[in-house]
Amino acid sequence: MQNLVVAIFRIKAGKMREATDLLMQILPETRAYEGCISLQLFLDEETDTYTLIEDWKSLADYNKYVEWRMETGVFDMFDPLIEGGAEGIDIQRHGESIASY
């Protein structure tokens, strides 16, 4: 991995299908965005929590992507689906990998 971004978010009760449909719609666009190397989506069914692991060429590329998503209103679409709304997404940005074993 070059530049790791991890996003963790819990889906509100009764909103799993709607949230999953939205994710399946937007994630191919995320993967196609300039600088996105890969992404994986994991679901903890016991807690209705998604974990999205993304690898980016640079954190600057990721930041441009976030700005674009904000302009498209995607975060607003997540507000009624995620506990705490879009602000409830725990996003962890990690810089370049310094070692791999």
Predicted confidence pLDDT, tens digits, the chain (101 residues): 889 999 999 999 999 999 999 999 999 999 999 999 999 999 999 999 999 999 999 999 999 999 999 999 998 999 999 999 888 999 999 988 888 88
- What span, in angstroms and rounded, lies between the C-alpha atoms of 63 and 57? 11
- What pLDDT score was predicted for residue 99? 84
- The pTM score is 0.90
Asked if 10 and 27 touch (Cβ cutoff 8 Å), the reply is no
In the CATH hierarchy, which fold is given to the domain comprising 3-95?
Alpha-Beta Plaits (3.30.70)
- What pLDDT score was predicted for residue 1? 81
